[in-house]
Chain A
Amino acid sequence: MTQSPQGPGNDDRWIDRMLDEMADTPAGEVPDALMSRVLADADAMLPPPGGRVARAPWWRQFVESLGGWLAVGGLAAAAATGFAVGLGGLESIGVSVPWSLEYESYYDGTGAFDAFGWDMEEG
C-alpha cells in the first residue's frame, strides 16, 4: 500500500502527489440550503437603492451639530467680543496698552514691592 518515491531528490514529487491528491477531493454539489442562506444574507445586507449615504467628515458633523455655518459665525463673533471686553478690563488695573502687557512699568510705578520690603526693614 506504500507508494515509493522515485529516488534521491524526490521531495517535490511526493509532496506534489500529496497536494494533487488533496486537489482531487470531490467537493460535490453545493447544497441548496447554503445558496439560500447566502442569498438571505445578501438580502438582509442589501444597501438602500442608490447606495449608502456617505458619512460626512468629522468637522462637518461638528459644524452641523452647532447649527450650521451661520451659528458658527455668530459664535466666533461673540467669542471675539468677549475677548476684547476681557482685555479692556485690564486697564482698570493700570495696564494701558493691553497687547504689550506692560507689567514691568506698572510695578515699577507703585514702588510697593521693591525687594519685597526687605530694603525698608534693613533701613
Chain B
Amino acid sequence: MPLDTDPQTDDADLLARYALGDAGAARLLTVRLTPRAFAQAVRMLGDRAEAEDVAQEAMLRLWRIAPDWRTGEAKVTTWLYRVVANLCTDRLRKRPRMSVPLQDVSEPADLTPSVEARMQSEARRDAVRAALADLPERQRIAVMMRHFDGASNPEIAQALGISTEAVESLTARGKRALAAALKGQVAALGYEEG
C-alpha cells in the first residue's frame, strides 16, 4: 500500500472528492485513516482480528456518510474516532466478564516470571478495557483521547463540543469512575492498595 501522496489536502476535502466519485480520494483516505482506526481498535479490544472488523466497519460508515458530510461541522478524524470507540464499546460490553480473580487461576507448573508478568499485564488491560466500556460515552472518549492519543484539552473540547474548562472535570470524573470500578481488583492486577 503506497504512502499518503497528498499530505497537504485536508481529510474533509478528500471526503468531498470521494462523494463526487473520485476513487483516488478513497485511496488516500484509506491510507491515512485505516491505520489509525485499526490501532485504536487494537488498543481498545486487545484482539487484532476483532480490531480489523471494527476498522473495516468504521471505514464503511465513512464511505456511506460521504455524500451527506457537512464540511466544517466536525473533523473527519474525530468522527472516525468516535465511531471506532463506540463499535469497540459495543463489542466489549458483549464479552463475558472475567468472573474468576487472577490469583485463583491455577498456574502452569513451569511458570516463569516473564509468563506471569505477561498474564498479569494482559489481565490489567482486560480489566481497564471492561471498565472503560462501562463509562458514559463522553467520559470514555475524554479519557481515551487524553491517555491514548496525548490529546490536549482544547483538542478534546473540540471533539466533544464542550468548553475547555469542562474537559478537566470530565476526565477527572472518568478516572474516578475507573478507579472505583477497578478498586476491588487492584491486588490481583499487580498493584498494592495503599
**Cβ of B52 under 8 Å from chain A:** yes
Residues of B in contact (CB 8 Å), total: 55
Given A18-B182, A23-B148, A47-B67, A30 contacting B175 (CB threshold 8 A): no
- Give 1 or 0 for each of A42-56: 1 = CB within 8 Å of chain B CB: 110111111110000
Stretch at the interface among A8-16, A77-85, A109-117: A8-16
CB-contact partner of A25 in B42, B60, B67, B176, under 8 A: B42
Instruction: Report A1-31 residues with CB < 8 Å from chain B CB.
Output: 1-8, 10-12, 14-16, 18-23, 25, 27-28, 30-31
Name B residues whose Cβ lies closer than 8 Å to a Cβ of A: 1, 18-21, 23, 26-27, 29-31, 34-35, 38-39, 42-43, 46, 48, 51-52, 55-56, 59-60, 63-64, 66-67, 113, 116-117, 120-121, 124-125, 127-129, 143, 147-148, 175-176, 178-179, 182, 186-187, 189-194
Majority-rule SS of B interface residues: helix
Residue contact B30 to A4, C-beta cutoff 8 Å: no
Residue contact B38 to A7, C-beta cutoff 8 Å: no
**Cβ of A35 under 8 Å from chain B:** yes
Closest 6 CB pairs of A and B: A42-B26, A27-B39, A19-B147, A49-B21, A27-B42, A5-B194
Given A46-B21, A47-B67, A30 contacting B38 (CB threshold 8 A): yes
Given A28-B48, A41-B56, A51 contacting B192 (CB threshold 8 A): no
Given A22-B125, A22-B129, A27 contacting B192 (CB threshold 8 A): no
CB-contact partner of A46 in B18, B42, B120, B148, under 8 A: B18
Determine how close the nearest CB of chain A comes to the CB of B2; give it in whole angstroms: 10
| Residues of the A chain whose Cβ atoms lie less than 8 Å from the Cβ of B127 | 18
Residue contact A39 to B18, C-beta cutoff 8 Å: no
Given A39-B30, A43-B26, A50 contacting B1 (CB threshold 8 A): no
CB-contact partner of B187 in A2, A7, A47, under 8 A: A2
> A34 — nearest CB in chain B belongs to which residue?
B52
CB-contact partner of B56 in A20, A22, A27, A37, under 8 A: A37
Determine how close the nearest CB of chain B comes to the CB of A47; give it in whole angstroms: 5
Determine how close the nearest CB of chain A comes to the CB of B92; give it in whole angstroms: 13
| Residues of the B chain whose Cβ atoms lie less than 8 Å from the Cβ of A16 | 147, 175
| Residues of the A chain whose Cβ atoms lie less than 8 Å from the Cβ of B18 | 42, 46-47
| Residues of the A chain whose Cβ atoms lie less than 8 Å from the Cβ of B187 | 2
**Cβ of A108 under 8 Å from chain B:** no
> B35 — nearest CB in chain A belongs to which residue?
A30
Residues of A in contact (CB 8 Å), total: 43
| Residues of the A chain whose Cβ atoms lie less than 8 Å from the Cβ of B63 | 41-42, 45-46
Determine how close the nearest CB of chain A comes to the CB of B145; give it in whole angstroms: 11
A7 to B128, CA, bound (A): 22
CB-contact partner of B117 in A1, A19, A39, A50, under 8 A: A1
**Cβ of A87 under 8 Å from chain B:** no
CB-contact partner of A3 in B30, B39, B190, under 8 A: B190
